[in-house]
Amino acid sequence: MNVVAIVVGSAIGLFFGGLINEKLREIAFRGVGLAVLVIGASMSIGGLGALGESRLGEFAPLVLVGGLVVGGLLGEAIGIERGLERFGHFLQEKTYNIKLFAPGPAEQPGAKGHTIVEGFVTASLLFCVGAMTILGSIQSGLGDPSLLYLKALLDGIAAIALATSFGAGVGLSIIPVLVIQGGIALGAGTVQPLMTPPVIHALQAVGGALILAIGLDLTDVKRLPYGDMLPGVFVAALIAAIWG
């Protein structure tokens, strides 16, 4: 359902995006960026506040700082952002001949590379990072998909707005959504005992910070290497699991 919602939302965004002139597209782009920034800030602050009520107390901000710094260093060493961009370019080369993925006049394979790759990376992080992804997938794997149905609705609406600005790369985000959410759902019985409240709140705090970084990029304030910071989600969860 989540994959279908993203595909449908992306298709709607692509169709209407072609009917919007460049000035209106720019306004939509900045509007999406501002909304993403607010969502990320709210999510991170909420998670950090809840984490402060655990045994970590006043040291809760260190989980956020440690997760982002150590995670960023690990991500840079592994080359996550470069890998995501290469994967995005690979998908572009494989799909640019398909009309849905190449709207408008005929173009060369690399012509819309930045849009497709950036759309893929941005949408993948937005749809895959967050407490709803983890909790919804676990509940779905245990027989209650209601939370994922809600997430599917929200992602479908977001995909419409994102695809209007970014294009077809947003639709390609169904690949990590399917792998990550499907993997968690399949391993729900194993993962559930590890999802203590501090771990969930740490995921929310760092995940929200990464989404906020996306918002800063979309509003053209500052481009941060949020792809490389992805391991910070797991670093923060580990810290919270041990000391939370």
> Interior CA angle at 6 toward 4 and 8, to 5°?
65
* Tens of pLDDT, residues 103-140: 443 344 433 444 677 788 888 888 887 667 877 888 78
- Distance CA(167)–CA(17), nearest Å, equals 8
Any idea what DSSP says for residue 107? -
Percent of the chain with pLDDT over 70: 88
- Distance CA(225)–CA(219), nearest Å, equals 15
Report domain extents, the chain: 2-101+110-243
- Which residues have C-beta within 8 Å of that of residue 238, sequence separation ≥ 6? none
- Which residues have C-beta within 8 Å of that of residue 100, sequence separation ≥ 6? 11, 14, 168, 171
Cα-based distances in Å from 165 to 29, 157, 243: 5, 13, 42
pLDDT in tens, the chain (244 residues): 999 999 999 999 888 877 777 777 778 778 878 888 888 898 899 988 888 888 888 888 999 999 999 999 998 998 887 887 787 677 667 665 554 444 443 344 433 444 677 788 888 888 887 667 877 888 788 788 888 888 898 889 889 888 887 888 899 899 989 998 999 888 877 877 888 888 888 888 888 898 888 888 878 888 888 778 888 888 998 998 888 6
Torsion 55-37-232-197 (CA) sign: positive
> Global pTM?
0.73
For residue 237, the model assigns a pLDDT of 87
- Distance CA(94)–CA(100), nearest Å, equals 13
Any idea what DSSP says for residue 193? G
- Distance CA(242)–CA(71), nearest Å, equals 17
